[in-house]
Structure formats: structure tokens, C-alpha cells
Structure 1
Amino acid sequence: MISIYHNPRCKKSREGLTILEDSGQDFETLKYLDDTPSPEDLKIIIKKMGIKPIELVRKQEQIWKEKFKSKDLSDSEIIEALHDFPKLIERPIVINGEKAIIGRPPEDIKGIL
């Protein structure tokens, strides 16, 4: 099953959702701001993406600048920050089986379908 971690207020996330809807494939929409992924789920997503946790962080968010930017954080601490402040998670995230991507630009989602 394809999943999209979605924020309805985000234009790129809405564009990603439209790509999935237009694909005709079954998928589930996870509103990650309402139902935050656990640290373990975040580790799995990061592993499927083949990235470092810092690459999943929205570094321009005010909360990142105020609380974390000047700190030398471990991967585990970054994952905890993403869990505690889900607004920091890049979006949209699309997962299809053992692959996952950040849909930026949204057209990248087509490559995982």
C-alpha cells in the first residue's frame, strides 16, 4: 500500500496528493501533524529513503532555528526533535513498499509509483 505523509496546509503536499489521486492507485493519507509518527516509524522512513535524519528536517522553520540550529545533535536527537515537533518534517513523504521519498518537487512522486 502506498502512503503519503500529508499536510493539507502545504501547497507541495497538496500537489503530491493530487499526483497520487491522478495515478489511480490505492493509497492512504496520513496527516502527520494530527497523528505524529513514532521515533521508530521515523527511523524506518529515513532508512527507506536512504538519507540521514537531518535531511528530513525543515531547517527554515522557526522552531528549528530557535531550539536546534546551533546544537550538535545526534541522529537520535534529530529523530526525537522530528517526533516532538512534527512541523519540522519535510513534506510530503510518499512510501511505496521498501522505498520512500520526499516529494519535492512533487513530480518526483511519479518515480516511486
Structure 2
Amino acid sequence: MAAQVTIYHNPRCQKSRQTLQLLRSHGVEPKIVEYLKTPPDARSLAKLVQQLGGRASDLVRDKDWRKLGLPQLEDPQQIFQALAERPELIERPIVVSGGKARLGRPPENVLELL
């Protein structure tokens, strides 16, 4: 049985829409989490970073963070808390499958999970 695929999706984001379309073109109908409507908490964000194999800062939309004049944070827990409070600053899309995650920038990155 194939692993469940989940996409943290923003339907207003072109890359997110492209990634969802790419998954569907490969016969995958993912569980869609519209993270602006149901934001992940700090603990869930920490798990996503672990699944990405990266750093907390990998989840941050840097341009939007700077535009808001937010301070640079080094502590992962502070980053996760800030993103939980302002989910619009989460980099998107994020696709999770089989205990691993990939950012869909570019969308083709997520094909590694299939």
C-alpha cells in the first residue's frame, strides 16, 4: 500500500497549485492541508523540519519575513512559534509522504517522495 501523501497548500500560490497539479498528474490525490485555514502548531512545524532534513529557517519565506520587518531569529523554537502565529510566512508548498517531506520549489522536488 502506498504511503499517504499530504500537501501543505495555499491555493493562491502558483507554486503550490503547480505542485498539486503535478502530484495529480502522477496519479496521487493527496490529503490537502490549507495551512492558512488550519495552521500547524510549533510542534508540527518542528516535525516538518525533521522530515525535510533541514533547519527551521528552511520553512521561512524570507522575503515576506523581511518585508514585515521581523527580527532575524536563530532559535528554532522561536522560529516555529513565529510561524505558528503567522502561517502566511511558511514557505510553500510542503509535501509529506512516508515520513519524509520536500518543499515544492520547484514543484519537481516532490517527485522524490513518490
Q: TM-score, normalised by structure 2?
A: 0.90
Q: Partner of 2:13 in structure 1?
A: 10
Q: What TM-score does the superposition give when structure 1 sets the normalisation length?
A: 0.91
Shift of 1:65: 4.1
Residue 58 (structure 1) aligned to one of 31, 44, 61: 61
Partner-residue secondary structure (3-state), 1:101: strand
In angstroms, what is the RMSD of aligned CA positions? 1.4
How far residue 68 of structure 1 moved from its aligned partner, in angstroms, is 2.3
Q: Summarize the Cα distance change of 1:45–1:93 in structure 2 as closer, same or farther, 3 Å threshold.
A: same
Structure 1: stretches of 5+ with no match in the other structure: none
Identity across matched positions, percent: 37
Q: Secondary structure at the match of 2:69?
A: helix
Distance 2:46 2:67 in 1: 19
Counterparts in 2 of 1:80-91, with a 5 A limit? 80-91=81-92
Partners of 1:106 and 1:88 in 2: how far apart? 19
Aligned AA for 2:39?
T
The number of equivalent residue pairs is 111
Long gaps (5+) in structure 2 = none
